[in-house]
Amino acid sequence: MSQSIELTELRCELKKKVMELVPDANLNSCLTCGACTSGCPATGQFDLDPRKFLRMVLLGLDEEVMKTPWVWVCTICYRCYSACPMKVDIPQLVYNVRASWPREERPKGIRLSCDYHISSNGSAMGAKPEDFKFCVEDVAEEVRETQPAFKDLQAFVGRKGAELCLNENSRGPVTEPDEMVPLWKILHTVGADWTYPAIMWGGENYCMFLADDKNWEHIVRTLAEHIDNDLGCKVLINTECGHSFYSIWAGLQRFNIPHKFEFKSIVEYYAQWIREGKLRVNSDWNVDNIKFTTQGPCMLVRKSLGDPVAEDLRFVMKSLVGEENFVDMYPNRSNNFCCGGGGGALQAPYNEQRRAYGKIKFDQIMATGAQYVAVPCHNCHAQIEDICEFHGGHYHTIHLWTLICLSLGVLGENERTYLGPDLAEFGL
Amino acid sequence: MEKANVTGSVMVVGGGIGGIQAALDLADTGFYVHMVEKSPAIGGVMAALDKTFPTNDCSMCILSPKLVECGRHININLMTLTEIESISGEEGNFTVKLKKHPRYVDMDKCVGCGVCASKCPKKVPNEYNEGLTKRKAIYVPYSQAVPLKYTIDRDACLYFKAIDAGKKGKCKACEKFCENDAINFDDKEEIIEVNVGSIILAPGFSAFDPSGDSLYQYTNFKNVVTSMDFERILGATGPTDGHLVRLSDHKEPQKIAWIQCVGSRDIHHCDNTYCSAVCCMYAIKEAVIAAEHSKIPLDCAIFYMDMRTYGKDFDKYYERAEKEIGIRFIRSRIHTILELEDGSLSIRYADEQGNIKHEDFDMVVLSIGLEASRDAPELAKKTGITLDKNNFAVTSCFSPVSASVPGIYAAGCFQGPKDIPYSVMEASAAAAAASTSLAPARGTLTKTKEFPAEKDVSGEEPRVGVFVCNCGINIGSIVNVPEVAEFAKTLPNVVYVEDNLFTCSQDTQEKMAEVFKKENLNRVVVAACTPRTHEPLFQETLKASGLNKHLFEQANIRDHCSWVHQKEPELATEKAKDLVAMAVAKVALVKPLEPVTIGLTPAALIIGGGVAGMVSGLTIAKQGFKVHIVEKKDRLGGHALDLRKSFKGETVKTFTDDLIKEVTEHENISVHLNAELEDVSGFVGNFKTKLTTGKEFEHGVIIVSTGAGPSDTREYLYGKNPNVLKWFDLDKKITDEPETVKAARAAVIINCVGSRDDQRPYCSKICCTHAIENAIDLKALNPDMSVYILYRDIRTYGTREELYQEARAKGIIFIRYDLDNKPVVKEVDGRLNVTVTDHVLGRPITIEPDFITLQTAIVPKGHEKLSRMLKVPINAEKFFLEAHMKLRPVDFSTDGMFVCGMAHYPKPIEEAITQAQAAAVRAMGVLSKEALAIEPIVAAFIDRNACRGCGLCVALCPYKALDIEETEEGRKVKLITAACKGCGVCAATCYRHAITINSFTDDQFANQIEARFAA
């Protein structure tokens, strides 16, 4: 990339277009100070970094900008923006450059996930609402039959008048139905009045990653209308998933979607239920002082709710494993590093770059010495597990609900896929 | 406003270096000053700094004499713990209502001994040390504070805390132990009304508080400190007693990083759109001092965006720091600081190529920015003046110290971030502006002290009285004072001895005056603290008793003895005896001295008729003095005639035209065009000048304002291609041929042409801003024009930064180049062709602009000749050299001579005007006197016959107070008493012993030495 640049008359079509769409992006204001680049885990991938990428846009090198796959390695995690003295919104620039790619040339994995979600009116893996309903009811029935403590357990889909509406990552019903159960148990324990939505129940939104505004909006709007008009729930709870949370949180604002319900993360509820004594968890079980750390999803923390939800997450973790057994990563909370699984990267074809990106997260996790990483996010979960294997780590990656049910002593035999051998049999 | 009806006094609000300078300038030019300071003592931020750039002077050492002078000036009414309550009236006659907070300590009785604080049980964070140490609830802000009077902090005091909570007050330890009965728990708030003619506001700045920042973690990481913390860590009276150690574990650091622009140039983590103007220099200074301070090799790295060393000698300082001291400069803004287990800090940063680097440091210093004083909004509300969006006072570039209300002036950081010299200049300028309309009332409110007629002691045998001071416990706890007093009785000529707890206390002074009379003393020795602060006090007591003040000698048995020999009390007592014996030996030979007075011509010579010269001339003329402006060219105006606008967008031409008219028409001003100096002779107050036109006149002061102009260049095809312009050419083109300019598709501006290179190792200061202004105007003419600025560092200091931001927002492209990889300009097929490497992408960029503008360096012309004629120095770059870069920015070291404008250093128009006004008020310090009184401790000939006229003393005299004259007896040295400072270089040099210094004579010294060795 050292070929000479002929400038004379600047033609910055791409810049102009983005500045019209996002007037607050301050693209021109760049001081070329490098704070973004020093904080970005995608720095160096495809010989680019946030500063260079923006510079190319400012110098009008539109053709080169449009060609680089770097925009699919950048996870739009906003860590660059948080340090920028000029509030230059590079993530929005990346998003809009993604959007400028011909749709058919955007990464197939992301595109198909988006398309399935729209066509199935349910989720990114294409499971239809009726299949989802069947699966949920079938698994719930099995729990009632095999686990006497939960003989009254209920899991509804599309129940009108429920107070809370919860979405579900499509991995649940499609590939690992037993992973849905721990969260049901938690909801049962606290006596929640809840339901899944009947349509657009999938806790994901790959149309957002595809930079497909129309379909991103369609998913969120359909869900919002369904909740308000068909179900009448007071609260929409996002399950353990960062990008799904952000797609709804930001989508409601970005597309001006009217809604009557309140939108919250399940992490906030975990913390609330523990504080209220409804979820009587403790760390007594952790007699071997197993060390835990946690990854707060960028989408949930830095990009949406900020440090308060990061504090909730830590409160939950410490309640579950004991203050002394919780080891934080540094930096953390709103200044956390993205794991590299965001932005649709797991569905994009740049695995080498994604894993190199994830090396920072891997090193951070290894530095904690923790045996377990608990993550309230499916993308983080998949990425952190993958980089562990790729970079030769030895930690285990689990969801929060697994840990909660473990602490409550109610984690079933089939609900332990992600636990290590030390806990695989624990409490059975 | 009725001119005769103005009030001859001025209020100065704020007791920092700016306020102090303004007060002293006013008091020295015939105006009474009410100085209002909110805190218990004056000194401001400068008192808390360790060293100052670029001279590395000890901050306190250069400030302290000013503090003392301000504190004891008969025409400065110092009001501490006081704030403005409200203002009424108008320019010339304001009534200011002041609120004076209770000190709970009687200022007249308190002698600053510190017993109260040593007994006070309550400790609170010490603001002076940035909270890194504790002070007591009764305290002085710092040990050299003026006034050195204790204050009770009501919020911290145990007694008041109980009272304020409605309980019975207890403790009162301070009251119990105070020997002077100075504690007054019944002290009340007072409302005072003062009449003044003008008001100068100089409340200073508040440092940016990085506590809330989650990226740099100042609050959580112990070894992340602010630059103000670091000043205190370096300071001898700081939290680590001047030892450079980490706060977490008191280990000596081996690596320290500075992070620039914390709270500056940032619209995200704060809303500070401006550059704080001083941080680059103070960071380099801190790094240099730290490196020199450290016992182990210290690795210092400064992380920055643009290195803004734009002031006089600043670039040389930067060069030296990098090349000689080895400070590393890393152009990178830091995202995050991480703390390691041992308290060290880890930084991950991107180098200029975008490569990620990791480095660990023992300490990180955040170079925090300067924000408007937290008191500014309140002060603005009470005075009615306008503040800008950053809460800095609004001023115009053409009257740079005038706030928006007539009669109210703003100086220092109150109107934007700036360094000490510029604050001092603004303070002097404010004094000039504030006193201009009050000139008719000059001298109407100032006081002079009356003393009884002096007793003739000639022919009397010396009768020496010795007063030995305990200074509370300061001396008495180490030195055996009664033993010293007994010893003093045995010394020759001593007829009276006493020891006091506090010799300086008011009642002791009264008793001393009685003793002088009763014992018929004709010589006095006080063995106490330092003459620097206390000699004038004791001398006044002598004068009040009818004794000549020179019949006095002070032995410093505190600073030179008890303080430095605390662990050897017996030896300290012996040394105190020696010091007393020597003082007694000297005083016996001291003779009464009479002050020398000389007349003066109340007129000024201004050399150079540019804006600076005209402003200084007009300022002096308006105050009623005659002014001669000498201009080499056939018209006034200088380079301002080529300028379009100030950085605030005001039109320079209108201002300059008006100024020329006012100067030309002023009855007190004579303009000499097409004229240069042929000869200058004389000294302060009494100069004689002959011009090349043959004209001759006398004057009392000289102001040099000869300016500087753009350099020539042969770089970048200048002179070969007509489309390669110098910067004034583009200004002219924009004004004269906007249509041609408009047609351009692309324009390139190249900065630092001839600046900051081996030949001219200085920054021309104005070019970055000028380039950006022109670029913005090009964009205004044709928004589709592609405009490129090729630069090395963008140095838009202060609020100029907003122009830089505006330029970027408008799509102007800034490309940074290095000295070793300069842009290349060629002509290809008749078109200009520029190649430069992009600093971010590292790729060559080719531009074919319609024209190229070169920001050529600002260079002085003809200064060597003038320097020789006036016998004033120039620096290596041929700019005139002021007496002291920090605190005497417009004075030459020769009395009666001043400098302003670009003759001093390249500067924008508002700084030239400020400096011109400052030079005017300094000149007025001479002109406003009826006669010049000179301290008689000056050189005197004892043996004119001994002088061989060798001229060695003439060559060495730093004040031009000696000259050679041809006499009938041959070449002889002539003494210009008015110029002499009594430094003694001449006397020490003269191998013929022809010169001696009054009060420091050879026989006095010999007697002292004998006394020491006889003892």
Grade residue B62 by pLDDT with cuts at 50, 70 and 90.
confident
Nearest to A9 among B352, B745, B844 (CB): B745
The answer on B472 and B581 residing in a single domain is: yes
Domain boundary among B857, B883, B905: B857
What is the CB neighbour count within 10 angstroms for residue B643? 21
Q: Are A319 and A283 in contact (CB under 8 A)?
A: yes
Number of independent structural domains in chain B: 7
Query: What is the CATH classification number for the domain harbouring B989?
Result: 3.30.70.20
Q: Is residue B780 situated within a structural domain?
A: yes
Q: Taking CB atoms and an 8 Å limit, are A38 and B356 in contact across chains?
A: yes
The answer on B269 and B303 residing in a single domain is: yes
Residue B2 pLDDT greater than 70, yes or no: no
Buried b / exposed e over B973-998, threshold 16 CB at 10 Å, is bebbebbbbbbebbbeebeeebbbbb
**Chain B positions in Cβ-Cβ contact with residue A334 (cut-off 8 Å):** 214
**Chain A positions in Cβ-Cβ contact with residue B843 (cut-off 8 Å):** 1-5
Residue A2, both tokens: 């050292």
Report the chain A residue with the minimal C-alpha distance to residue B269: A85
Q: Taking CB atoms and an 8 Å limit, are B335 and A33 in contact across chains?
A: no
Report the chain A residue with the minimal C-alpha distance to residue B262: A85
Distance CA B233, CA B254 (A): 15
Domain boundary among B842, B857, B872: B857
Distance CA B683, CA B897 (A): 9
- CB–CB contacts below 8 A, A to B: 136
Nearest to A37 among B350, B805, B838 (CB): B350
Q: Is residue B1014 situated within a structural domain?
A: no
The answer on B112 and B88 residing in a single domain is: no
Per-residue pLDDT tens over the stretch B168-223? 989 999 999 998 999 999 999 999 999 999 999 999 999 999 998 889 999 999 99
What domain range includes position B952? 938-997
The answer on B406 and B438 residing in a single domain is: yes
* Residues facing residue B974 across a β-bridge: B963
Distance of CA B639 to the CA centre of its chain: 28
Q: Taking CB atoms and an 8 Å limit, are A32 and B808 in contact across chains?
A: no
> Phi-psi bin for A322: left (phi > 0), alpha (psi -120 to 50), beta?
left
Q: Taking CB atoms and an 8 Å limit, are B811 and A28 in contact across chains?
A: yes
pLDDT value at residue B279? 98
E-assigned strand segments in B305-435? 328-331, 337-339, 345-350, 356-361, 363-368, 370-372, 408-410
Q: Cα–Cα–Cα angle for B414, B417, B418, nearest 5°? A: 105
Per-residue pLDDT tens over the stretch B230-272? 999 998 889 998 899 999 999 999 999 999 999 999 999 999 9
Grade residue B1015 by pLDDT with cuts at 50, 70 and 90.
low
**Chain B positions in Cβ-Cβ contact with residue A12 (cut-off 8 Å):** 811
Between residues B451 and B767, the one the model is more confident about: B767
* For residues B899-922, average pLDDT: 98
Q: What is the mean pLDDT of chain B?
A: 94
A 252-311 residues with CB < 8 A to B: 307
Q: Which CATH class, in words, describes the domain spanning A110-272? A: alpha beta
* For residues B107-136, average pLDDT: 94
A 312-371 residues with CB < 8 A to B: 330-331, 333-335
Closest CA of chain B from A330, distance in Å: 7
Closest CA of chain A from B261, distance in Å: 9
Distance CA B898, CA B915 (A): 10
φ, ψ at A89 (rounded to 5°): -90, 75
Residue A112 pLDDT greater than 60, yes or no: yes
Distance CA B167, CA B176 (A): 20
**Chain B positions in Cβ-Cβ contact with residue A35 (cut-off 8 Å):** 333-335
The answer on B912 and B808 residing in a single domain is: no
Q: Is residue B1007 situated within a structural domain?
A: no
**B17-27 and B909-927 helices, crossing angle to 10°:** 40
Q: Taking CB atoms and an 8 Å limit, are A7 and B847 in contact across chains?
A: yes
The answer on B263 and B337 residing in a single domain is: yes
pLDDT winner (highest mean) among B234-238, B523-527, B963-967: B523-527
Q: In what order do the strands lie in the sheet with B345-350?
A: B337-339, B345-350, B356-361
Q: Taking CB atoms and an 8 Å limit, are B335 and A8 in contact across chains?
A: no
The answer on B416 and B312 residing in a single domain is: no
Closest CA to B765 of B310, B306, B308: B310
Distance CA B682, CA A93 (A): 71
Query: What is the CATH classification number for the domain harbouring B32?
Result: 3.50.50.60
The answer on B779 and B687 residing in a single domain is: no
- Is A32 within 8 Å of chain B by CB? yes
The answer on B674 and B635 residing in a single domain is: yes
Distance CA B996, CA B492 (A): 25
Q: Is residue B505 situated within a structural domain?
A: yes
Report the chain A residue with the minimal C-alpha distance to residue B213: A83
Which CATH number is correct for A13-101, 1.10.1060.10, 3.60.15.10, 1.10.300.10, 3.90.1150.10? 1.10.1060.10
The answer on B631 and B532 residing in a single domain is: no
Residue boundaries of the structural domains of chain A: 13-101, 110-272, 276-424
What SS3 state is found at B210? helix
Domain boundary among B417, B449, B481: B449
Closest CA of chain A from B652, distance in Å: 29
**Chain B positions in Cβ-Cβ contact with residue A32 (cut-off 8 Å):** 814, 816, 839-840
Nearest to B354 among A30, A35, A43 (CB): A43
pLDDT value at residue B563? 86
Distance CA B314, CA B303 (A): 18
Q: Taking CB atoms and an 8 Å limit, are B355 and A38 in contact across chains?
A: no
Q: Is residue B889 situated within a structural domain?
A: yes
Sign, Cα dihedral of B45, B149, B497, B520: positive
Nearest to B332 among A12, A30, A38 (CB): A38
Q: Taking CB atoms and an 8 Å limit, are A4 and B844 in contact across chains?
A: yes
What is the CB neighbour count within 10 angstroms for residue B554? 22
Give the position of tokens 């303070």.
B427
Which range among A229-238, B528-537, B837-846 shows the weakest confidence by mean pLDDT?
B528-537
The answer on B696 and B842 residing in a single domain is: no
Nearest to A9 among B215, B786, B814 (CB): B786
φ, ψ at B213 (rounded to 5°): -75, 130
Distance CA B17, CA B806 (A): 33
Q: Is residue B252 situated within a structural domain?
A: yes
Q: What is the ipTM of this complex?
A: 0.95
What fold, for A276-424?
Rossmann fold (3.40.50)
Closest CA of chain B from A68, distance in Å: 15
pTM tops 0.90, yes or no:
yes
**Chain B positions in Cβ-Cβ contact with residue A84 (cut-off 8 Å):** 268
**Chain B positions in Cβ-Cβ contact with residue A11 (cut-off 8 Å):** none
Distance CA B547, CA B539 (A): 9
Report the chain A residue with the minimal C-alpha distance to residue B304: A33
**Chain B positions in Cβ-Cβ contact with residue A14 (cut-off 8 Å):** none
DSSP letter for each residue of A235-302? EEEE-S-HHHHHHHHHHHHHTT---SSEEEEHHHHHHHHHHHTSS---STT-TT---EEE---TTTII
Q: Are B42 and B36 in contact (CB under 8 A)?
A: no
Q: Taking CB atoms and an 8 Å limit, are A9 and B354 in contact across chains?
A: no
Side chain identity at residue B25, one-letter code: D
The answer on B336 and B237 residing in a single domain is: yes
Cis peptide before B492 (omega within 30 of 0): no
pLDDT value at residue B442? 96
Report the chain A residue with the minimal C-alpha distance to residue B333: A35
Rounded alpha-carbon distances, angstroms, from residue A162 to A131, A237, B302: 21, 12, 60
Label residue B44 exposed, middle or buried (CB < 10 Å: 0-12, 13-18, 19+). buried
* For residues A102-121, average pLDDT: 97
Nearest to A28 among B305, B809, B838 (CB): B809
Closest CA of chain A from B809, distance in Å: 5
Task: Evaluate whether A13-101 and A276-424 have a shared fold.
Answer: no
Residue A141 pLDDT greater than 90, yes or no: yes
Q: Taking CB atoms and an 8 Å limit, are B305 and A33 in contact across chains?
A: yes
Report the chain A residue with the minimal C-alpha distance to residue B351: A34
Q: Any residues with CB less than 8 A from the CB of A115 and at least 6 apart, and which?
A: none
pLDDT value at residue A1? 45
Closest CA of chain B from A291, distance in Å: 18
Q: Taking CB atoms and an 8 Å limit, are B354 and A30 in contact across chains?
A: no
Residue B536 pLDDT greater than 90, yes or no: no
Residue B156 pLDDT greater than 60, yes or no: yes
Best probe of the A interface among B345, B832, B843, by most A CBs < 10 A, is: B843
Best probe of the B interface among A14, A30, A33, A65, by most B CBs < 10 A, is: A33
Give the position of tokens 């190249």.
B750
